Amino acid sequence: MKFKKDIIKTGLEKKLLVKYGKKLSEGLDFEIYDALSQTIMEEIGGSWKATEDRYNKGREAFYFSAEYLMGRAFSNNLINLGVYDGVVELLEELNIDINKIESAESDAGLGNGGLGRLAACFIESMATLNLPGTGYGIRYRFGMFRQQFEDGFQVEYPDNWLKYGDPWSLRKDRDKVEIRFNKDESVMAVPYDTPIIGYGTNNINTLRLWQAEPVEELDLGEFNEQNYVEAMREKNEAENISRVLYPNDDTDEGKKLRLKQQYFFTSASLQDIVRKFKLKHGTDFSLLPDFTSIQLNDTHPVVAIPELMRILIDVEGLLWGDAWKIVKKTFAYTNHTILSEALEKWYTELFKQVLPRIYNIIVRIHVQFQELLEEKYPADLERRKRMAIIDEDTNLIHMAWLAIHGSYAVNGVAALHTEILKNAELKDWYELYKGKFQNKTNGVTQRRWLLKSNPELSGLITELIGDNWITDLSELKKLETHVTDENILNRFLDIKNIKKEQLAGFIKGNTGIDVDTDSIFDVQVKRLHEYKRQILNIFHIMDLYNRIKEYPDMKVTPKTYIFGAKAAAGYFRAKGIIKLINEVAKAVNNDPDVDGRIKVVFVENYNISPAELIFPAADISEQISTAGKEASGTGNMKFMMNGAPTLGTLDGANVEIVEEAGIENNFIFGMKVEDIVELKKSGYNPTEVMNETKGLKRVMDQLIDGTYDDGGTGMFKELYDALLVGASWHAPDHYFVLQDFNDYRKVRESIDDAFEDRLGWAKKAWMNISNAGKFTSDRTIAQYAKEIWKIEGKKIK
């Protein structure tokens, strides 16, 4: 987009006057942000429509995801359009602070963690690569909750990101569709389109998010009878479907709502795709797989498989066999987990109540698949039972099994993850469908996580190697020639310090805590889950604190431990870990004996905007999941490209990060996948490990002896029991926190000396930046496009 200062200024003034009745000098920050965003939207309208028309002529990919963790759009869009500097200059002339305008935008909290952020990176890369692709999902009214800490406990509040509207989306009433769950219940799905702006291209892709609305807004008869609640019942129940991302599902009602959400957006998206197909190609649906590839991002959208069968059979009149051939050539499935409990399953009775017709279709797919298995494995009843889409012993529908059987490609998201799927977790399926399995190691977009988040480092990189890295991250490899240049390394360290100062200012505002920017910024920010082992991190801090109290003269390189994480609303144990971190922080940060040596900071309401400050400022990237449990990770990649060595296990994409940047430039500890297998075989006794590991018993005892207060909730005792006793659903210490503790402590201690050698440390960081090229989402998406979707770039003029 060519920047036209006068047009932008005139549009800004006009929008302020028409919408808010104000002159430019009177506009509030949000009003100026809104008016400026709408002005930009008008300017890109022609390119957006031209892109849609261009894509409509050929094969397209459609990305189905329950989450899109987009973050703020304003600055990212201006950067990708190439007009950011021009807008800054214009606002300066108008005496308007760009930082205040940027801050006026709410984070679009439509995701929970890595899954949603990955989807956001992917659709941005599709646009940058000029690939014909559309994202489909849900326009959650409240998105992920807003997290507050009250007496150290996580408390959830609504995240009303749409309070003042969203200038970056357009409502498309003409494309709304009806979604029928059963004979008594249906809702309308209304699409909102958001432009996905690629970097350095006129192509603008689309993210279409569906909002649930009632078929009838008001039951006037009930209203006139003064039954006001009943008069609004249909409206409230419909709007619940797109009200909140991942509603608590520890009751049947919560589970039904989640299932409705999944069916709602997949059915709406499929109806949309089929409508467009018919406009272009008529009713010869045998051609649908020639023009359409649908990527299912995890198991949430897998109900799309039987839903497309329903549309083809019930609506379009195809025979079952013909419809099934089409379906199997249309869908591809990404598996994001090794955790069996995270592979989505639904009780048949609940599923039948919500979606009776879809249930009948799944039963028929199940029966047909069992016939295939009987033919393939006539003597292996156990295998057939393991692979049953509907487990008749537990009455559970296995959505991952349905996804694998009903798709033409299945991929893992890191080399290690894919090998574990093939050789262990999905071994039966790999043996049956070897040709379907692929690996697509995740990536992140450098436009947001380096160019936007770290303009200081981006400027240095561009000065050294030019700006081609913005769209070809492999160019970073050229930086290696500067790894012995002390001037460049010192400039890098100066930039890191600038980013630490910026983060320190944010931390002061967010938590009230002053942090030492000369200390090691040791960072673990990610979703709060047991397998990610935030508890291992805080156990080490508790142990270090104990040792400092016992030996006040011990040498400690100053450290600031930074956490950021949300726990799912119904996840009691994860909430207990948050409370423990906050209790330890309170003790450490208020103890003069450790002042200047260690601080513990838990950033409240961690999301994209603070992440953009945290990743560039980090000295250490904590990636300490139990080996074999993290499918990939993407935070590890963001830290890497901003020059933070990884402190981690050989898990997920850490394996490939170490391969690229060198193990000597990272800090690896803990058991490998094969070590865990052997330990399980030989027998694991966590109590014995605790007693034999110096300082560990004291840490464990502090969970239950009153050293740290859980407010009478029993949370800390529950953590203690989970590690030493286990629970009905798992063995003691099933993520091997105690087993890995001592090795973790040793490696963390080795970081102190390494950090004090400032040039040596800068070399490690520089080697990570130089070898981050593999971990761009551009590379990942190019592989999806070529090897799964079979689509090619189509650039508009």
CATH for 549: 3.40.50.2000
pLDDT higher than threshold 80 for residue 220: no
pLDDT digit string, tens, across residues 397-411: 999 999 999 999 999
Are 176 and 304 members of one domain? yes
Whether residue 190 contacts residue 176, with contact meaning beta carbons closer than 8 Å, is answered with: yes
Number of structural domains found in the chain: 3
Beta bridge partner(s), residue 390: 397
The rounded distance, in Å, linking the Cα atoms of 441 and 679 is 28
Asked whether the beta carbons of 68 and 297 are under 8 A apart, the reply is no
Please determine, for residue 112, whether its predicted confidence score (pLDDT) is greater than 90.
no
Do 455 and 377 fall into the same domain? no
Q: Residue 352 falls within a domain, yes or no?
A: yes
Residue 162 placed within a domain: no
Q: Is 794 a catalytic residue?
A: no
Mind listing the pLDDT tens digit for each residue in 728-779?
999 999 999 999 999 999 999 999 999 999 999 999 999 999 999 999 999 9
What CA–CA distance (Å, rounded) separates 45 from 611?
Answer: 30
10 Å CB burial of residue 62 (0-12, 13-18, 19+) is buried
Contacts of 2 (CB under 8 A, 6+ apart): none
For 447-485, write each residue's pLDDT tens digit: 999 999 999 999 999 999 999 999 999 999 999 999 999
Q: Is residue 782 part of a domain?
A: no
Residues 84 and 182 in one domain: no
Q: What are the residues whose beta carbons fall under 8 Å from the beta carbon of 786, sequence distance 6 or more?
A: none
Residue 206: band (very low, low, confident or very high) from pLDDT cuts 50, 70, 90? very high
Amino acid 143: pLDDT: 80
Dihedral sign, CA of 88, 92, 96, 99?
Answer: positive
Please indicate, yes or no, whether residues 83 and 67 belong to a single structural domain of this protein: no
Indicate the DSSP class of residue 757: S
What pLDDT does residue 249 have? Answer: 83
CB 738 within 8 A of CB 693: yes
At residue 213, does pLDDT exceed 90? yes
Q: Catalytic: 638?
A: yes
Q: Kind of pairing, strands 620-623 and 646-648? A: parallel
Helices (H), 287-398: 288-291, 304-310, 320-328, 348-354, 356-376, 381-386
Q: Give yes or no: residues 432 and 555 share one domain.
A: no
- Average pLDDT, rounded, for the chain: 96
Residue 784 domain-assigned (yes or no):
no
Q: Which of 35, 53, 108 is nearest to 76 (CA)?
A: 108
Single-letter code of the amino acid located at 228? Y
The helix/strand/coil state of 772 is coil
Residue 375 pLDDT: 97
Maximum separation of any 2 CA atoms in the chain, in Å: 82
Residue range of the domain that includes 12: 1-55+75-104
Report the Cα–Cα distance between both ends of the chain, in Å, rounded: 11
Residues 400 and 499 in one domain: no
| Last residue within a domain, chosen from 420, 442, 464 | 442
User: Is there a catalytic annotation at residue 532?
Assistant: yes
Say if residue 32 is in the same domain as residue 61: no
Q: Determine whether 422 is an active site residue.
A: no
Is 635:612 a contact under the CB 8 Å cutoff?
no
Spell out a b/e string for 657-668, using b for 16 or more CB atoms within 10 Å of the CB, else e: bbebbeeebbbb
The single residue listed with the structure tokens 């066999």 is: 321
Catalytic residue chosen out of the listed positions 243, 597, 638, 748: 638
Residue 312, token pair as written in the block: 């083809």
pLDDT for position 699: 98
Which tokens go with 604?
Answer: 């409240």
Residue 275 tokens, joined: 């409508």
Spatial contact of 61 and 791, defined as CB atoms under 8 Å apart: yes
pLDDT digits 0-9 by tens, 623-653 = 999 999 999 999 999 999 999 999 999 999 9
Active site residue 180: no
Question: Residue 343 — very low, low, confident or very high, per pLDDT cuts 50/70/90?
Answer: confident
Tell me the C-alpha distance between 89 and 306, whole Å.
53
Same domain, 316 and 422: yes
Mean pLDDT of the region 73-94: 95
527 has catalytic annotation = yes
Are 413 and 477 found together in one domain? no
Q: Would you say residue 221 lies in a domain?
A: yes
Give the count of alpha carbons within 13 A of 111, CB side only.
23
Entry pTM = 0.96
Q: Which of 141, 532, 579, 734 is catalytic?
A: 532
Altogether, the residues listed in the chain come to a count of: 797
Q: Is residue 789 part of a domain?
A: no
In a domain, 783, yes or no: no
% the chain with pLDDT above 90 = 92
What tens digit of pLDDT does each residue of 119-138 get?
999 999 999 999 999 999 99
The pLDDT tens digits of the residues spanning 547-572 come to 999 999 999 999 999 999 999 998 99
Residue 123 CA to residue 781 CA, distance in Å, equals 9
Which one is catalytic: 194, 330, 560, 634?
A: 634
Q: How many other CB atoms sit within 10 Å of the CB of residue 4?
A: 13
- Asked if the model's pLDDT at residue 118 lies above 80, the reply is yes
Exposed/middle/buried for 592, CB within 10 Å: 0-12, 13-18, 19+? exposed
Instruction: Determine the residue type at 467.
Output: D
> Catalytic residue among 417, 526, 533, 745, which?
526
Residue 358: inside a domain: yes
Domain check: are 404 and 431 in the same one? yes
Catalytic residue among 255, 398, 417, 527: 527
pLDDT at 216 over 90: no
Which pLDDT score is estimated for 320? Answer: 98
Q: Are residues 484 and 415 in the same domain?
A: no
Q: Write down the residue that tokens 């537990």 correspond to.
A: 394
In the set 258, 336, 405, 529, the catalytic residue is 336
Instruction: Please enumerate in sequence order all residues whose Cβ is within 8 A of that of 499, keeping only pairs 6 or more positions apart, or say none.
Output: 454, 456, 457, 613, 616, 617, 642
What are the tens digits of pLDDT across the range 345-358? 999 999 999 999 99
In angstroms, rounded to a whole number, what is the distance separating the alpha carbons of residues 31 and 27? 6
* CA nearest neighbour of 359 among 186, 178, 177, 181: 181
Residue 386 and residue 463 share a domain: no
Q: Give dist(CA 760, CA 2) in Å, integer.
A: 44
Name residue 529's amino acid.
H
To 10 degrees, the CA torsion angle through 596, 598, 604, 605? 120
